[in-house]
Amino acid sequence: MAHFSDINIPELLEQILYFLAVEKSLYPALFISRLWYRCGASFLWERIELKRNDLKYGHHFPDDYTYYERDRTQCKRFIKLINEKHKPAYVSNTIHLEITFYHSLSDKKIKSIVDMFPNIVHLDFKDSIGFGDKSLFIIAESYPNLRYLNLWDAQAITDKGLCAIIGSCRKLEYLNISYCENISDKSLFEIAENCRDLQEFHFAEAYWITDKSISCILNSCPNLRNLDISYSKGMSKMLVC
C-alpha cells in the first residue's frame, strides 16, 4: 500500500482535471476531499439520464444510440432509490430527468419520481411506456415550471391527461407527443391557448388533427421555430410538408 508521501499530488490533480475537461465527468472529483465531494455531488444530481434497451416492433434506436450493461444497472438502482423512504441529500437539486426506452415505467413509479424530485423542469420519457393519464395528472400538479416534456410514443395517454399538463405547465418550451395516437385537435387548441412560450412542437404520425388546430398553434405561439407533424393524416399536404 502506497504511503501518502509516495503520491505525486500535482500529477494526480492533473489526471483528475483531465477527466473533467475531456471525459466531461465530475465523478473522479468526488474522491479528492469532502469539500470536493460536497461541491461535485450537488452538480451531479442536477442531471439524471437513464436508458434501457426496450424496443417495440417496427421501431429502431437512433444511429448514435449505445447501450451498456452499466445502463441497466444504473436504471435498476434508480428504481430502487425512488422506492426507498429516505431521500438522498441532493434530490432537490435535480432539474433534468431522462428515462428513455423503458417499457415498465408505470404510474406508480412516476408517482414515486415526483415525490422524490420536486424541482424537475426537463422531463424526457422518450419511448418509455407503461403509464397513462394518471401520471400526467400527477406531473401537472407537481411541476408547474416544466419547460421540456417528451412523451414520444406514450400511446396510453389521451386528451384528458395532456390537457391537464397544458393547463398547468404553461411555461413549456418543448413538447413531443409524436406517435401518441389518442391525441386530437382538442389538445392542440389548448396548446395554442396556454403555451405561448412554445419553441418546439413534435407530433409525428398524428391521426386526429386538422389544419385548423395547427394553424391556431402557428398563430398563437410567436416563438415557435420547429414544428414536426410528419406522417400525419387529415391535413393538407402543404402543412405536413
87 in the same domain as 11: no
Distance CA 114, CA 143 (A): 8
Give tens-digit pLDDT for 25-80: 555 556 555 655 566 566 778 899 998 887 766 666 777 777 777 788 889 989 99
* Residues 32, 53 within the same domain: no
Is 75:52 a contact under the CB 8 Å cutoff? yes
* Contact indicator for 201, 226 with CB cutoff of 8 Å: yes
- Assess whether 207 and 103 both reside in one domain: yes
Structurally, the chain folds into a number of domains equal to 2
Same domain for 147 and 120, yes or no, is yes
pLDDT band of residue 241 (cuts 50, 70, 90) is very low
The structure's pTM equals 0.81
- Nearest partner of 20 among 49, 51, 43, judged by Cα: 43
Residue 90 has a pLDDT of: 85
Same domain assignment for residues 68 and 11: no
Give 89 or 155, the one with higher predicted confidence: 155
CATH of the domain at 131: 3.80.10.10
Q: Do 2 and 83 sit in the same domain of this protein?
A: no
Domain that holds residue 59: 47-240
Buried/exposed code over 162-193 (b: 16+ C-beta within 10 A; e: otherwise) = bbbbbebbbbbbbbbbbbbebbbbebbbbbbe
Indicate if 109 and 127 belong to the same structural domain.
yes
What is the 8-class DSSP label of residue 130? S
Residue 107 shares a structural domain with residue 155: yes
Q: Which three cell numbers stand for residue 126?
A: 422518450
DSSP 82-94: HTSSSPPTTGGG-
Average pLDDT of span 160-187: 98
Same domain, 59 and 177: yes
The predicted-structure confidence for 115-166, as pLDDT tens digits, reads as follows 999 999 999 999 999 999 999 999 999 999 999 999 999 999 999 999 999 9
